[in-house]
Structure 1
Amino acid sequence: MHLLRVGSVYPCSVVRRVNRFVVEAYVGGSLERVYNTNTGRLEDVLVPGARAFCAESTSGRLRYRLVAVEYGGGYAVIDTRLQEEAFTVAVEVGAIGWLRGCRVARRRPRLARSVLDYLLECSDGEVLVELKSAVLRSPWGEALYPDCPTERGRRHLEELAWAARRGMRVAVVFVAGFPGARIVRPNPAGDPELPGKLLEALREGVEAHGIGLEYDPLTSSILLYNDNMPVVP
Structure 2
Amino acid sequence: MPDTPHIVSDVMTYPVVAVRRDTRFKDIVRALAEGNVSAVPVVEADRRVVGVVSEADLLPKEEFRDRDLTRAEQLRRSSDLAKAGAVTAEEVMSVPAIMVRQDFTLAQAARIMAVEHVRRLPVVDDEGRLRAIVSRGDLLKVFLRPDEDIEEEVRRTVVSYLFPALSHTIHVSAHDGIVTLRGQVHDPSLAWVAERLVRAVEGVVDVEARLSGEEAASDRAGDA
Per the normalisation by structure 1, the TM-score is 0.25
Identify the structure with the greater strand proportion: 1
Greater helix proportion: 2
